[in-house]
Each structure stands twice: as structure tokens, then as C-alpha cells.
């Protein structure tokens, strides 16, 4: 009978112990049960045994998966890892420095600690923190706390000697108003420096400060004295500032014409200061210096304060306007360009003061007309006044001819003359306009010949060409009539000649008789010979109808 083979390993019950310390090497499988399934359809349930192979990662805290291997099959279950807790820290070697002067910084160099864990293991503790502690006179032990566990560090501290002082923080107030404010040490500190290298910061007191005076503005250096030790710091005495100007007597002149200089004769002022003092002001500045229409008051300024004194300003009256400078553009193309005032300047003359120059704008211009070449007088209007200047309208120039509508006929028989019926000729000008042209020459001015392929339309030195075709094939055919219709026409012609009135005598010599034309030999019939006998010469040409 062949040996059965395991095909699966089924986890039935987990081991009782599923929590381990980081770094664990083996697992306790007691309480666990697995079921082995074989290839013959049978299965077997059994407890987990120590000889069953396990594999897991215990290098870090948290959940991890453990593998259980048996008979070539695997079953997986989860375990939890945690770092063992330290129960206490043990000083194996104290710090190198244990003797201190008051104010020195605690130094833990050389300290060796061992940690005793809940597992009972003892291992060196490497992570000793940096301590920012200044020892004080009377300290005998420093409680070093690591991860919630305190270990005593024994030290001995002796008194330190003060060697100097220096300023720590300056007072909050370092600027004082002239003749009013007194020194305020609030917020200031002094640092005491000891021979141990230790420093102690103490509050600055008013009794320790020497040399303060608010009588004169400017920077002052104050001295701080504690025992025989001194240090200094600066403060600023701020000069009093005027907060308000009071008018004792006003301006002698308060009504002006625009452009007049403002006079301050008769003005007297007194200033109120931020330290409560009041003084008459002898020197001050004022703006504006010249009266303008937008000026409603004169602003007087002195020692940082200002006061406005109302004045009245009447506008200057314009007496005339003149073109000071012509616009940049003085020539304009007929029927094309429009007037531009750019560069033009207008001089305004007033009843008081100097004239003013303003820019001429397009909305000031009247009368510009580019419809006809020649001189154009343009009028400038400004506030009811007018002046004039002239510009030149240059005539439009013909650039070329265009046949904007072809003639009704472009095909001819030799001997016919060109027929312009239906044709429209237009001229294109340098102002961009396209206008019909009614005056032009047509060449050739003769009956057309078969070698003619175009007709030239000319105006001055400009031409346009109309393609044509000249050929016998374009000659209109003569109408064909029957013999009976021809005889009727002949008879009607004889009757007409017999009843015609006699010709009016004329003193002009009679024209010579036309030479008889010989009929072409080609196509002559018996009827044709009889038709051109001399007795029938009066019938010639009747068929041309």
C-alpha cells in the first residue's frame, strides 16, 4: 500500500501565547491545534508540537505573521511583538565632573548607565540626554529622568563669585519726550556673570540707573551699577513736536487772481506742543506759493503741525487765442486722410499774467474738408475764441485703370470696329478709391484685323487691356431666301424706282459711276449670270436686307 502524502495544513486553534518581546527567537506553540489533510482523502487533527518548524520576524514592534511548517505544508497565524520595558536604571559609573560652582552647567560626560528590563535582562543604556541645567548653590543631587524612570546623579555645588554685569534685555521704553517723561525700567534686565562661567539674569531697577535727564533732546547713555560692577545702555530723548497751530492774526490779503503770488503779510501763529508747552512761531513754510483755481486755502506748516487759512481765487480771463505751433501734419490726401491735431499748440492770452500754451486737440477743429484739392482753412475754437490756419489738400493721383465690367462683345469679324457697349472702366487712385472713368481712348481706333488679340483702354499714361478674338467665324451669316421671295423683292424694287420723284438738281458734280464688280468664279450658276447682266444692275444690294 503506497504511503499517504500531506496536501494541506489547516490551523484549528491558535497557541495560547501570541505576544512576544522584540528579538524573540522561538515561539511557544502550546495550546495550538492543526489538522493535516492527506492525498488519500483522510485527515488527522493533532496539537502543535515543538518539533514543528516556525519562522517569523521579531526585529520590530507590532503585528507580524508567523509560519508553521509540517510535512511540507504551511499554516499562517499572527503574533504581536513589543519592546520590553525598563524597570529601573542603574548608575554603573558617575559623571566625570561632580564638583561645581553655582551657576555652572551640569555636565554628564562619563556617565555610564545600565537598564534592567522586565525580562530581567540588564544592558548598557546608550541614549543619555543632553541636559540644560545650571546648578545652584546647595544642590546635592540632580534627578536624571529617562523614559519616565529617574536615577539620582550626585553632585557638590559651591558658591560662585560675581565678576561682571552686562545688559540683558533693554527696557520696553527707550524713547522719552523732552521735559516730560521720566525713566521707566520696566522690561529691562541685567545679567550677572560669575567666576564659574554661570550667568544670572535679574530685573533692572530704577535705583540701579544713573545719568537720566529729559531736558535736552538727543541720545543719552545711562549707567547701570550693581555693587562695584557697572554697564551701560542708550536711550533717546525725543524733541517736543507741535501738535497744533493757532492763528493769532490772519493774512492781510485773502483774495487773489489766478497766477498771483500768495502773500503772508500780517500772519502771526502760536504752536501747541505734545509736552503741553505753547510758543509763538517765528518761522514757517506755506503752500501753494502761487494762487490756482483749485486752491481753496493756504496751508501753513511749522515744526510738524499745519493749519489751513481760507483764500479766494478768481480765474484769469482769456483775451485771445493764437496758433503757437502748427500741427505736425500739414498735407492731406484728397478724399482720403482726415485732420490730425497732433503736435499743434495753442497760445492763450490773458488779462493778467503770462500766456499759457495748450495742446490743440481734434475736437477744437472745425471746417476741414478733403473733398477738393487745394488750400483748406481750418478753424480752431476754444472757450468762445477762434483762430485759423491753413493745410494743403493734395490731389488724388491715378495709379491704374481697371475694366470693372467687360463689354457686351469681345468677338468680332475682320473689318468690324470695337464696340464698347456695356463696358465700365474705373480708375484706382492713390487714396484707395476706385471711381468710374468716362474719358479714355480706345486703341486700335480702326476696323479690327485678324491679328488683333486685344483692345487697349488708355487714360493719360495708364492703360487696361480687354482680350478680344477676331475671325471670319464670328461674321454674322446672310439670310438665305427662296427664288419666289427673291423675284418678289426684285419686282417691288422696280415699282419703287418707277414712282420715285425726280432728284433735286444739284450744282455739285455728279460722282463717277461705280466700277462693276466681277462675280467670283467659284459657285457661279446660270441664274447667277443672268442676275448680274447690266439691265439688272439697279437690283444689286437688295439681298443685303
Question: Which residues neighbour 482 within 8 Å (Cβ) at sequence distance 6 or greater?
Answer: none
Q: Is 192 exposed, middle or buried (0-12, 13-18, 19+ CB in 10 A)?
A: buried
Question: Residues 304, 305, 309, CA angle at the centre, nearest 5°?
Answer: 140
Q: Which run of H or E residues covers position 526? A: helix 526-531
Q: CATH top-level class for 320-394?
A: mainly beta
Full DSSP string of 134-188? B--TT--EEEEEETTEEEEEE-EEE---EEEEEE-SPPS--EEETTT-----TT-
- 494 phi/psi in degrees, rounded to 5: -65, -40
CA 470/CA 410 separation, integer angstroms: 9
CA 46/CA 34 separation, integer angstroms: 6
- Other CB atoms within a 10 A radius of the CB of residue 461 amount to 6
Question: Residues 70, 75, 79, CA angle at the centre, nearest 5°?
Answer: 120
CA 392/CA 5 separation, integer angstroms: 120
Q: Which residues pair with 114 in a beta bridge?
A: 90, 124
Q: Is the peptide bond before 318 cis (omega within 30 degrees of 0)?
A: no
User: How many residues make up the chain in this entry?
Assistant: 545
Which of these, 100, 204, 72, 205, lies nearest to 159 by C-alpha position? 100
CATH code given to domain 6-82:
2.60.40.3630
pLDDT tens string 303-332: 889 999 999 999 888 999 999 999 999 999
Radius of gyration, alpha carbons of the chain:
64
Predicted TM-score (pTM) of this structure: 0.35
Residue 370 near residue 376 (C-beta atoms within 8 A) = yes
For residue 404, give Cα distances in angstroms to 17, 126, 409, 442, 469: 110, 106, 15, 16, 20
Which of these, 257, 384, 263, lies nearest to 316 by C-alpha position? 257
CA 513/CA 538 separation, integer angstroms: 12
Residue identified by cell 504511503 is: 3
pLDDT of the residue at 482: 64
pLDDT of the residue at 200: 84
Residue 147 near residue 87 (C-beta atoms within 8 A) = no
Which of these, 443, 403, 408, lies nearest to 426 by C-alpha position? 403
Q: Give the three cell numbers for residue 180.
A: 516730560
Residue 345 near residue 325 (C-beta atoms within 8 A) = yes
Question: Residues 144, 147, 151, CA angle at the centre, nearest 5°?
Answer: 30
Which of these, 400, 452, 445, 451, lies nearest to 420 by C-alpha position? 445
CA 257/CA 295 separation, integer angstroms: 11
Q: What share of the chain is helix, strand, coil (3-state, %, to 5)?
A: 5, 45, 50
pLDDT of the residue at 535: 37
Residue 295 near residue 276 (C-beta atoms within 8 A) = no
SS3 of residue 435 by DSSP: strand
SS3 of residue 257 by DSSP: strand
We find that the CATH architecture of domain 162-238 is Sandwich (2.60)
pLDDT of the residue at 417: 94
Sheet holding 19-21, edge to edge: 19-21, 73-82, 62-70, 53-55
pLDDT of the residue at 499: 53
Residue 454 near residue 467 (C-beta atoms within 8 A) = yes
pLDDT of the residue at 479: 64
Positions of the chain with pLDDT under 70? 1-2, 479-483, 490, 493-545
pLDDT tens string 182-202: 999 999 999 989 887 778 899
Domain(s) labelled CATH 2.60.40.3630 in the chain stretch across: 6-82, 86-158, 162-238, 242-314, 320-394, 398-474
Residue 386 near residue 321 (C-beta atoms within 8 A) = yes
Residue 474 near residue 413 (C-beta atoms within 8 A) = yes
Q: Give the three cell numbers for residue 442.
A: 480706345
SS3 of residue 426 by DSSP: strand
CA 141/CA 184 separation, integer angstroms: 41
Question: Which residues neighbour 428 within 8 Å (Cβ) at sequence distance 6 or greater?
Answer: 398, 399, 400, 401, 402, 434
Domain 86-158 has CATH 2.60.40.3630: yes
CATH topology of domain 242-314: Immunoglobulin-like (2.60.40)
CATH topology of domain 398-474: Immunoglobulin-like (2.60.40)
Ranges of H-type helices in 364-510: 483-498
Q: Which run of H or E residues covers position 531? A: helix 526-531
Residue 363 near residue 378 (C-beta atoms within 8 A) = no
Amino acid at each position: 500500500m503506497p504511503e499517504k502524502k500531506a496536501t494541506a495544513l489547516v490551523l484549528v486553534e491558535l497557541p495560547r501565547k501570541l505576544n512576544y518581546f522584540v528579538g524573540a527567537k522561538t515561539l511557544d506553540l502550546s495550546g495550538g491545534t492543526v489538522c493535516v489533510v492527506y492525498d488519500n482523502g483522510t485527515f488527522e487533527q493533532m496539537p502543535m508540537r515543538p518539533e514543528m518548524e516556525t519562522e517569523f520576524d521579531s526585529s520590530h514592534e507590532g503585528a507580524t505573521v508567523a509560519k508553521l511548517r509540517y510535512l511540507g505544508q504551511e499554516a499562517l497565524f499572527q503574533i504581536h511583538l513589543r519592546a520590553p520595558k525598563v524597570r529601573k536604571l542603574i548608575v554603573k559609573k558617575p559623571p566625570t565632573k561632580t564638583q561645581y560652582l553655582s551657576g555652572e552647567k551640569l555636565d554628564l560626560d562619563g556617565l555610564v548607565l545600565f537598564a534592567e528590563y522586565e525580562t530581567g535582562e540588564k544592558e548598557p543604556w546608550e541614549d543619555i540626554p543632553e541636559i540644560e541645567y545650571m546648578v545652584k548653590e546647595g544642590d546635592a543631587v540632580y534627578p536624571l529622568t529617562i523614559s519616565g524612570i529617574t536615577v539620582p546623579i550626585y553632585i557638590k555645588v559651591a558658591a560662585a563669585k560675581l565678576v561682571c554685569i552686562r545688559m540683558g534685555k533693554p527696557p520696553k521704553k527707550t524713547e522719552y519726550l523732552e521735559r516730560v517723561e521720566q525713566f521707566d525700567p520696566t522690561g529691562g534686565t541685567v545679567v550677572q556673570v560669575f567666576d564659574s562661567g554661570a550667568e544670572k539674569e535679574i530685573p533692572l531697577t530704577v535705583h540701579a540707573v544713573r545719568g537720566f535727564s529729559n531736558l535736552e533732546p538727543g541720545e543719552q547713555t545711562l549707567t547701570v551699577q550693581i555693587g562695584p560692577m557697572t554697564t551701560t545702555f542708550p536711550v533717546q530723548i525725543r524733541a517736543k513736536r507741535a501738535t497744533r497751530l493757532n492763528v493769532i492774526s490772519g493774512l492781510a490779503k485773502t483774495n487773489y487772481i489766478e497766477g498771483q503770488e500768495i502773500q503772508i503779510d500780517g500772519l502771526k501763529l502760536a504752536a501747541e506742543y505734545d509736552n503741553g508747552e505753547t510758543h509763538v512761531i517765528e518761522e514757517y513754510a506755506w503752500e501753494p506759493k502761487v494762487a490756482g483755481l483749485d486752491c481753496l486755502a493756504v496751508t501753513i506748516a511749522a515744526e510738524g503741525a499745519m493749519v489751513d487759512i481760507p483764500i479766494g481765487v478768481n480765474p484769469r480771463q482769456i483775451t485771445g487765442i493764437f496758433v503757437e505751433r502748427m500741427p505736425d501734419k500739414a498735407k492731406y490726401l484728397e478724399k482720403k486722410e482726415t485732420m490730425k491735431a497732433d503736435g499743434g499748440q495753442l497760445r492763450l492770452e490773458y488779462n493778467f499774467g503770462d500766456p499759457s500754451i495748450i495742446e490743440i486737440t481734434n475736437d477744437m477743429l472745425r471746417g476741414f474738408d478733403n473733398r477738393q484739392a487745394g488750400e483748406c482753412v481750418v478753424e480752431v475754437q476754444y472757450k468762445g475764441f477762434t483762430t485759423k490756419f491753413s493745410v494743403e489738400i493734395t490731389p488724388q493721383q491715378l495709379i491704374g485703370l481697371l475694366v470693372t465690367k467687360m463689354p457686351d462683345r469681345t468677338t468680332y469679324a475682320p473689318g468690324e470696329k470695337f464696340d464698347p457697349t456695356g463696358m465700365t472702366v474705373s480708375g484706382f487712385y492713390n487714396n484707395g478709391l476706385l471711381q468710374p472713368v468716362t474719358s479714355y481712348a480706345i486703341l486700335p481706333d480702326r476696323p479690327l484685323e485678324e491679328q488683333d488679340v486685344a483692345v487697349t483702354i488708355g487714360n493719360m499714361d495708364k492703360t487696361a487691356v480687354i482680350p478680344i478674338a477676331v475671325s471670319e467665324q464670328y461674321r454674322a451669316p446672310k439670310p438665305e431666301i427662296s427664288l419666289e421671295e427673291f423675284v418678289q423683292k426684285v419686282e417691288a424694287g422696280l415699282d419703287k424706282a418707277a414712282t420715285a420723284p425726280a432728284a433735286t438738281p444739284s450744282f455739285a458734280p455728279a460722282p463717277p459711276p461705280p466700277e462693276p464688280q466681277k462675280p467670283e468664279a467659284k459657285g457661279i450658276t446660270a441664274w447667277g449670270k443672268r442676275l448680274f447682266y447690266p439691265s439688272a444692275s439697279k437690283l444689286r444690294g437688295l439681298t443685303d436686307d
